[in-house]
Amino acid sequence: MSAELTDTRVGRLANWNVAIIAITVLVLIIAAASVDNFGTGQNFGFLVLDLLPIALVALPMTLVIVTGEIDLSVASTLGLSSAFMGYLWNANQPIETIIPLCLLLGAVLGAVNGFFVTVLGLPSLAVTIGTLALYRGLAFVVLGDGAVADFPSLYTDWVTGTIAGTAIPNVLIVIIVLAAVFGVILHATPVGRAVFAVGAGEQAARFAGIRPGRLKFWLYVVSGVISGLAGVLWTLRYSSARADNGAGLELAVVAAVLLGGVSIFGGKGALPGVIAGVVLLGSLQNALRLSDVSNEALNVVTGVLLIASVLGPNLLKRRT
């Protein structure tokens, strides 16, 4: 009986979530010991700011992918939100009005994706590739290829500042709060159970009284809102609204989510693993930048991790 219990515990621990968390901790320790300035408080602040947009967008992306869908328009939504923010600022609108309007814009863009996927029944991959190009093009229509700066220092200083003079960035609060909210929703509410049920089998979920179309529609709306928020925070961090802000971010987000153990086929995943995947990806990129590695090499690393995130869980599952 004792041996069986031990085997059961080992089986529970031998999963991709535990593996990715362990790998992340190991990478952080090695990087702090071998890369100059990686373990400093100043670099910790830069690391959190770099992780901010990936971490935020990865939260709703996790739920979308668990349902068996995907949203590749998130980076373009971020860019259009930033461009819209710059346009409104040029129109002398107060920042307190601009931020809610950018979130509303994100909700509308997400609703467009949700409409095409759930109402018209089109494949989410094709739809969001199309809106990826559409939203980025609209961003350049709204703002052109220039930049808008001079946003209120009260907001820009808060985004780039730290808590009470410590090395802990203010934006870490945003990440922790939203991660806790999404974690509770996914793992401790009927909505989360419905998300997993839809991803495991949409037809069976219907028989259980779940409405997959409505669920997916609202997940796309939430994805749009969070992407709009990421666009606002990106703009305030750099004090620069540009139509090309966040270009290519969708690759890092999808890589982080899949690296965190979420199945690309839906029905499986856990938010702690996704957070670990975000930290792992961001830490590797940060350590390589400190080592003067080129951006092209960073893209190679992201691509390798994306392949590993799909291959690794499958190999571990077979071995288990």
269-286 per-position pLDDT tens digit: 899 999 999 999 899 888
The dihedral built from the CA positions of residue 216, 253, 309 and 272, taken in this order, carries a sign that is negative
Do 319 and 293 contact (CB within 8 A), yes or no?
no
One-letter amino acid for residue 145 of the chain: D
Alpha-carbon separation of residue 36 from 76, 148, 278 (angstroms): 34, 35, 22
How far is Cα 217 from Cα 47, in angstroms, rounded to an integer?
A: 33
The pLDDT of 231-253, averaged and rounded, is: 94
The pLDDT of 1-19, averaged and rounded, is: 53
| Residue with more model confidence, 311 or 37 | 37
Alpha-carbon separation of residue 130 from 116, 117, 137, 157, 307 (angstroms): 11, 12, 11, 36, 23
What is the biggest distance separating any 2 CA atoms in the chain, rounded to whole angstroms?
72
Say whether pLDDT at 175 is over 80.
yes
Residue 234 confidence (pLDDT): 97
Residue 314 confidence (pLDDT): 66
pTM above 0.85, yes or no: yes
Q: How confident is the model at residue 40 (pLDDT cuts 50, 70, 90)?
A: confident
Residue 140 confidence (pLDDT): 96
One-letter amino acid for residue 266 of the chain: G
Instruction: Name the token pair of 30.
Output: 């090695």
One-letter amino acid for residue 252 of the chain: A
Instruction: Name the token pair of 158.
Output: 């808060």
Q: How confident is the model at residue 266 (pLDDT cuts 50, 70, 90)?
A: confident
